[in-house]
Structure formats: structure tokens, C-alpha cells
Structure 1
């Protein structure tokens, strides 16, 4: 799924300056609303321009620009256009077209990124491929509660600066006559890490964490019965991947990661939709120290990225949506996240049996908010919108393109 989490609905304002826009109609022939479906389909270089507005608390305010290109054959365009004229939801349920996304953005704290990705399917969606890469610089604060010795709101905070390059690709094959897909995933990254805190910086160098190469191979399992990948109104999805990061394939550290994410969209009558989402992420390793950003974190609207990390992280969300009409949808959401850490410490009093003891700590936080979506390209079911999320410690705006959550 193409998901620009921090993109702006103000993209509509940029259309007037696009040279090729003069040859496209931005009025839907069926409902008479503003729509970019014809522009995306009928221009050789047509794309959805998306000015990026970043309000992520972890990196501060910022902005940039992104472009979403959709690639269709003439036959695919004609079929989608015909169905779109027959009904308000027509065309959106067809197999998603191939697409390419490019983006560049930066924030006030010096974080910046340039990224590109491509997604394509073959043989009636029996084969799916996704690949992409990014380069950038990230300034992110990391929090440590020293194995539960400090309360979550008093956790020790230190800054990190990371230069990185990332590549990933994934291929999946559909099990015949089912909604299940099985595939493989490859990731590679190279990064440098430092901190303005002298003690932290020397520790990173001593532990050989100041420069890191990472390489991983894994298996991917997916179930997908959603009616639309951009903004589902019914159906279910499940994504699970297990990754092995090993020195034999180019990684500096050996560790395994497990990631499971599921979503459900249930219509309630003609106007209401209730949605549920859950995730579980874990990391396991025999090594005593990994880079501070390796551990999974609670990813909920209203909570800073990397604010709450753990060896195991679980989240649960629910979202209630009301479709005012075929274009506008308003929504409210609530989510809760839980982290669990197991740390090993030195216990002098227990040295008669075992000098080292394990201690488990956990943190639970919640977040909530509201937002809206506007269907910007009806024939594709593509929506744009804004969410405002709150938690006990902060709040943030999220500008979205192509996502139900």
C-alpha cells in the first residue's frame, strides 16, 4: 500500500501551476465534484503532486514534496473509466494499477530524506513486487528507562544523529484461488550514528555502533480481502514477516525480527464503518547491544516515533468512520500501545548461584483523535485527509494519502 503518512491536503492548490493540467478535466462527470482521476489516467506524465507537511513530534515541523505516478495500459484505463461512470464506487475495486512514488522532505531539527519506491502486479494480481530506497539524515531523541528503574515520563533522554541509506524489495506469489500470498523480503542499510552527549557518543564508538551495515532476508505472509487498497470500506488484511539479519549476508550484528499487522473494516449500514487494527513487533538477539533505533516502537497517531521502545511492542486501534457522501468521510480513533523489555543485570548478592539476573519492565500508553478524508480520485478510490492525534504528553497533525488508518 502506498502510504505518505505526513502529506498535505493542500496538494489541491498546486494543480493550477502544472502545465499539463490545462489538458485535463478536474470535474467528475458523474457527481460534478473536484476529482483528479482523469488527470492521473489521461496524461502521459500525470501524477498526484503532494506537498508534504511534517508534524511528527520526534523530528519537529517540516515539509517537502512527493509525487504519486499511476501506470496503466490503455485497456485498463478504459475499463476503469467505464466502471467509474456506471456507479460512484465503480473502478475502485479493480486490481490496483502499478505505481511509483518519489518524495523529498526536511524538518526544522535538520532531519531530511529523499525516497523512491515502485509497486507492480502481474497475472491478475497473482504476483506482487515492491521495491524502494531512501537516503537521509535523522535527528531523533532516544529514551531509556534503564530496565524499569525510571518511570516512563522520567526516562533518560539523549539525542542521536544518523546518516543512512536504505534499500528493500519484496516479492509475493498468490496461493491459487485464495486471498493468501507468500513471498520473500530483502533489506539492506548502511548508517552512521553519533550523539552530542559525550558519554553516549564514546559508548557508541566503544560498542562499534557508530557505523553499522545491516542486511536481512525474510519470509512474508499476507492475507488481503479488502475492497480497495487505498481506503478500504470492508474486508480484512494480515501481514506477517520474519527477518533474519546475519553477518554471513553482510550485517554487522546477528538478530531476528518478527512483525505482524492486521486490519479489519466492517460496514455498519450504509454510512458507518468500524475498523480495527492490531500489531505485534519483536526483536531477539544473543548480542548484548544493538543500535538504539533497532528496537521496535509504539506507532500510534499522537505519540512520537521511537518515544516508547521495547523488545516486544503491541498496539491495538479502533476507528469509527462516517461517510457523509461518496467524497467526504469523518472519523474518530483510539489506540493503545504496550512495550515489554527484558534486561540482564549484575546481582552481587546472588553470585552464589548466578551473578546475572533478568528483569522485565513494561509500559502502556494510549492515544486518540479525529480526522477526515476526501476522495481525490474516485475511479481509483484514492483519498487524502488530515488526522489530529492526542496523547498524555503531546499532540500532532498527520496529513495522509491512501490509508484507512
Structure 2
């Protein structure tokens, strides 16, 4: 099993997750990237700088994705722009794979005139950030007026951008944008979803591809983002990844496959960014209609990861964790005989971690015996793989290692009161 992922392909796919809870059909990040890339291609800068602009544009709102409901208010205006830009910077700054995107993302809302914020101003703002700011502003104006035909929006939007040059936006960047936006084709490309694939395929620069370790690093960042969406899942994705990797090792997966399993575990709940906060944060069991909404998350995990045609196994391992051996799982109702071992592993790991975590609807932590009993019952009903459940509890202490502190302080207490980790 080989992984030969182009970074642009990965960033383009993962950018879809950043707007799921706001408007997953808007393609805000893709359109911002298209505008920013067109600006960068007209400037006398290195190819590496153009590449930076394109990649950072695709992820520019990563700091807001877990809390879109808080970022957008009433009329759709952005609040807390500096806060989400700073949050994005903190997520990325120490990343080996994405650290270079941190500064452009940090300052993509910095004003050219420096008013109203203790940020750099003018040419002290990184050029990539200035380009993304202008592109983001144009795309936002376009989105706000989307009821009108796009060509009828051209003049009002360009007038607004011209008025903001030298104040909010870099006048040199705006000048370039105004020039390229004179073409009707520029605007029609932005609303033509069929053109998007061609736009990105033409920019698959060079033969640079991500190593599996770099993909793992990126998956760690998105796991943090996913788990931030709810106060009850602070490290859920990492623990599922840990348990799934352990089971994969015990089943004889090679090291590359174990790393791929770690990635699948980290990204298995990527689609949860589509779930409204009031559902994720509900302090009690979900009502039937809320459960129905929750079921969409695995669908979006699959659709996002399946954008990566080099990622077929990881997308299935990650997204099929609520499919069941009796074929009655969701969202695809995959027959049990078609469920790969990797998907069964992530399903077992996800149930195990969920049962051992504190949850608002469970006043007390479950004991090891209770967790094992529940999982064995599900296996008996052909919901979980019985062999994997048995394997998990044969290596129970390894599975729990590093996951939680024991309820009363250390592992010795398990023999005294049977408490699961808290």
C-alpha cells in the first residue's frame, strides 16, 4: 500500500471540512484560493511564494472551523477575525508540514493602514497574507450578493475593493486584482463548479509529494480541530487513533499500514465539523431528530477523504466506523462481508474510546467489566467484530496506556474498584 499524495490535493480536500458547519456548498476556501492564486500569478514573485499563497488560501480559516456558529452573527458578518486568525496560527506554527502557512494565516485579516489592531501594517504584513486578505474580501462580497447574477455583481464589488485600497487592503494587490477582474471569464470561472478541478489540476506544481509522516502531522492538526468542536471530546480522535493502531499491530499490519491506520483514526470524525454545536454540546441523550443529524458526519468524512483518489483505504477505514457487520449501520449500509478489516478496527476502537470517556449523559464512569460486557453484547448482535473485541481486551492495559488517568490516581486501583480511566 503506497501513499503518493500531492499537497495541493490534500489541502483542497481538507479545506472542504473547514466550512461544513457554515455552508458546505459555498466552497469559500476554494474560491478564495482561486482568486489569490490568480493575483499571485500576476506578481513578480517566486514560484514557491505562489505555492504558499495557494496552500495558505485553502486553509486560511482553519482557526474558525470548530466554532463557525460563534464567528458568524445575524447578517453573516464576521466577528473575531483576528481571534480566529491567531487560532489558526497557533494550530499550525509548530507543524513540520504546515508551519510555513502559519504567518500568512495569522495576518490574513491585518489591515494595510494598521488601524484598530496591534498588528503589522503596510509592507510589514507578509505578502501572502495581503494577497489572501484581498481575495477573501472579494469572495465574501461575492457570497453576500449571491442572489444576483455574478456579472451584475462585477462593478459594485470592484468599486468596493477600490474604495478599500490603502485602508484595509494593499493598494498594489488591489490594483492587480482590479485588472484581472475586468475579464468576464474570471467571474464565470468562480461560479462554475465544473471548472474547479481543472483550475487545481493545472497547478499541481512539480513532483513534490507528501511523505506519510507529513500526512500524519497534518492529520494530528485536524484531529485537534475536530475535537475542539465539543468540550466532551478533548482528545477523542487521538485516542481512537492510538487504539486502532494497537489493534492493527496485533493483527500483523506492516509499519506503513499502522501509520495509515493512525491517520484514519485521527480523521474518522472529520465530518463532525458539519454537526451544529447545540447537538454536539447537548448535555443529555440526543433526541431522535438530533441522532438523525448526527448520522451525517460519517458521510462527510467519506466524501472529503474520497477526494483523494490515492487514499481509498484510509477513507473507508475512517468513514465506515458506524457501519456494522449486519449491514444496518450508517450512512452507506455496507454489507458486513464488504467491510474491510481496517474499517472494523476503527469501529471497535471508536466504541471502546467512547465508552471509556466521560460523557454528559453518563454520571459515572463505566468499569472495565461494564465496557467489555457492552462491547461483547454488540459483537453478539453482529454490530462489532467479535474477534477484534476479544483481541482488544486481551491487550486492555496497552489500549488504555496514556489515554486517561485512572479514576483514583493510578492503574493499581483497577484491582480495587474496577474503575475505567476517567
Q: Would you tell me which structure has more helix in proportion to its own residues?
A: 2
TM bin (shorter chain): under 0.3
In the superposition, the TM-score normalised over structure 1's length comes to 0.24
